[in-house]
Amino acid sequence: MLVLKGIAASPGVAIGPAVLLPGENVALSRQYIQKNEITSETQKIHQAVQKTLAELDACEQKVLDTLGSEYANLMSTHKLILQDPAFHKAILHKIEKEQLSAQAAILFTLQELSAEFQKIEDPFFKERRNDLLDVGKRLANNLSSGKDNFLASVKNPSLLVAHNLYPSDTINLQENQILGFCTDVGGKTSHTALLAQSLNIPAVVGLSTASKEVHAGDTLIIDGENGLLVINPDRYTLSNYRKIQRDIKKTESLLKTINHLPIVTQDGQAFKLFVNYDPRTDNKDNKRLITDGLGLLRTEFIFMGTPIPPSEDEQYSVYLAVAKRFDMRPVTIRLADLGADKRPDFPLDEFNQEENPFMGCRGIRLFLKNPELLHTQLRALVRMACEVPAQVRIMIPMVSSVEEIRHVRRAFNGVLEEFAKQGKHPTNKIALGAMIEVPAAAIALDGMIGELDFISIGTNDLIQYLVAVDRVNQEVAHLYDPCHPAVARALNTIIQTAHKRGKAVSICGEIASDAKMLPLLLGLEVDALSVTPRMFLRVKNNIRNSNFEHCSNLAQAALLMGSSEEIRNLIEQNDKHENP
């Protein structure tokens, strides 16, 4: 038994056999095929070999042109490995005799051969193992469309282990028998973690070495509550976790009983609770939730995976579907926060040679430099608001100055006029707000708030910029600290400034679903929280079990504290007291 400690990214406990995402690691689960599939699997191998050969030929020529014949020899060695009769025989034997799938046959052959190389003492010959693995991975990747296909081919409920999972991978998880996943990299607020929550599956990220420690078929426990990965647990641990799993299920069904109840504290203070919504991962359970509306629609996904920017029509149909999904309740739609780690495929000059993209041209900065992108998105949103009686709230990302807000307001008014000329008007007035995530905007909010109808605090980025920590950088991730006194004080400044002008404040970062932080946020008098559907009922339950007066006292005490440690002790003590 081996226990790895990572970061809890999505709650719950999953138990089952491990599968490893190919391309990340050569180990894989034994996928078996039917007798009548043998011919087609063999055929796949032949096709993949031809495709790989063609690739290596092209590569060889390129290497020859650029690096010279010394390196090109390496490619011809790779070609020989690919055509090696012993390699082929072993793969075909695995398909024909053991009835393994083509992919599993390749990967297990690689594993066996590489183990043989591992035995060699001479370091030079031992190193040849890497040539073999390189060729083998190329071949495996050419078998099919790659990872998507791999995820689709997982036939038994399993736990997925990967070095890194991209949001595009996680989208394929739901329908494919993956009960939970864990990754070597990533933090609590990585987009992968957010997606895991919307998929309702447990996840642990930031495990550093999980993909190396785990072998295909190992029994795993993913403990998304405590951020643990247990590899090959002993009987005692296993039965313990089975019990925890049952308890969690019981709690989840209990939580459903509070769905229709109001969101008020025990002493009668009401709060609003929105959901962060992703139409790509919506499901039946999510649709049953009774919410105050949509607190954050990230629209970047509409701009991804397309060679040209999405048209007004395309965007309009997405927004229309979203508005219908939420009936008459408010829908908060954020203008695309492109840039930094979310780069579209269509070319934009601003991305060339950015050394520090998180401080570069992202969010509204990018849109103001590309006014046609802003114009199209605003038109699609206004058109939707003219069509259906939705309560549309448009949110501007990455605002750092009042001028940016004025620019967007002018563009927005321009679009309203365009529609007015055609005799079209939004059924309900559209609210224009900003996401407060840049410290400058938080500190100088009094100069901006007059131009805004609402604000929402994006705590993930706000904290990152406050403490100057890249949340995915393992070296400094521990400094990304929601308990830092600067965080509580910044939130307090923002909320008080907005309240003075009668504007409502919501919080839509990860901090909103952290049970220990909740009393602090409520005590700072935030008006609304927006959380993932996965966390919605848990947070609701926590609010309903809170005492507002008690939270206020806690917040006031925290604002007087000068160190993270004091604040952490305060909320930990409080949590122990409330949830003994």
Residue 309: CB minimum distance to another protein, A:
48
Considering the rule CB under 8 A, would residue 372 count as an interface residue with another protein?
A: no
* Residue 182 annotated to the active site: no
Considering the rule CB under 8 A, would residue 475 count as an interface residue with another protein?
A: no
> Which DSSP letter does residue 434 get?
E
Q: Please report, to the nearest 10 degrees, the dihedral formed by the alpha carbons of residues 435, 437, 440, 444 taken in order.
A: 40
Considering the rule CB under 8 A, would residue 32 count as an interface residue with another protein?
A: no
- Which of the residues 182, 386, 483, 508 is marked catalytic? 508
Alpha helices for 97-202 (secondary structure H):
102-119, 123-142, 147-153, 167-171, 191-198
Task: Kindly tell me which of 132 and 467 has the beta carbon lying closer to another protein.
Answer: 132
Considering the rule CB under 8 A, would residue 111 count as an interface residue with another protein?
A: no
Considering the rule CB under 8 A, would residue 125 count as an interface residue with another protein?
A: yes
Q: Whole-angstrom Cα distance, residue 457 to residue 362? A: 17
Residue 75: CB minimum distance to another protein, A:
11
Task: Kindly tell me which of 77 and 176 has the beta carbon lying closer to another protein.
Answer: 77
Binding part of the chain for another protein, among 71-79, 318-326, 483-491, 503-511 by CB under 8 A, reads 71-79
With CB under 8 A as the contact rule, the residue among 42, 47, 77, 176 that binds another protein is 77
- Contact of 440 with 465, CB cutoff 8 Å: no
- Contact of 221 with 241, CB cutoff 8 Å: yes
* Residue 508 annotated to the active site: yes
Q: Whole-angstrom Cα distance, residue 258 to residue 464? A: 34
Residue 120: CB minimum distance to another protein, A:
5
Closest CA to 525 of 501, 493, 484, 483: 493
Binding part of the chain for another protein, among 111-119, 186-194, 459-467, 529-537 by CB under 8 A, reads 111-119
Residue 378: C-alpha distances to residues 259, 382, 412 (Å) = 34, 6, 6
Considering the rule CB under 8 A, would residue 108 count as an interface residue with another protein?
A: no
Task: Please spell the DSSP secondary structure of 27-78, one letter per residue.
Answer: -----B--GGGHHHHHHHHHHHHHHHHHHHHHHHHHHHHHT-HHHHHHHHHH
Sorted by sequence, the CB contacts under 8 Å of residue 277 that are 6+ apart come out as 286, 294, 295, 296, 297, 322, 325, 326, 533
Task: Kindly tell me which of 126 and 343 has the beta carbon lying closer to another protein.
Answer: 126
Sorted by sequence, the CB contacts under 8 Å of residue 119 that are 6+ apart come out as none
Considering the rule CB under 8 A, would residue 122 count as an interface residue with another protein?
A: yes
Considering the rule CB under 8 A, would residue 74 count as an interface residue with another protein?
A: yes
Binding part of the chain for another protein, among 3-11, 127-135, 168-176, 381-389 by CB under 8 A, reads 127-135
Residue 42: CB minimum distance to another protein, A:
20
Considering the rule CB under 8 A, would residue 69 count as an interface residue with another protein?
A: no
Task: Kindly tell me which of 84 and 566 has the beta carbon lying closer to another protein.
Answer: 84
- Contact of 18 with 29, CB cutoff 8 Å: yes
Binding part of the chain for another protein, among 82-90, 303-311, 421-429, 481-489 by CB under 8 A, reads 82-90
| Total residues in contact with another protein, by rule CB under 8 A | 21
* Active site members: 191, 508
- Where along the sequence are the contacts to another protein (CB under 8 A)? 73-74, 76-77, 80-81, 84-87, 113, 116-117, 120-122, 124-125, 128, 131-132
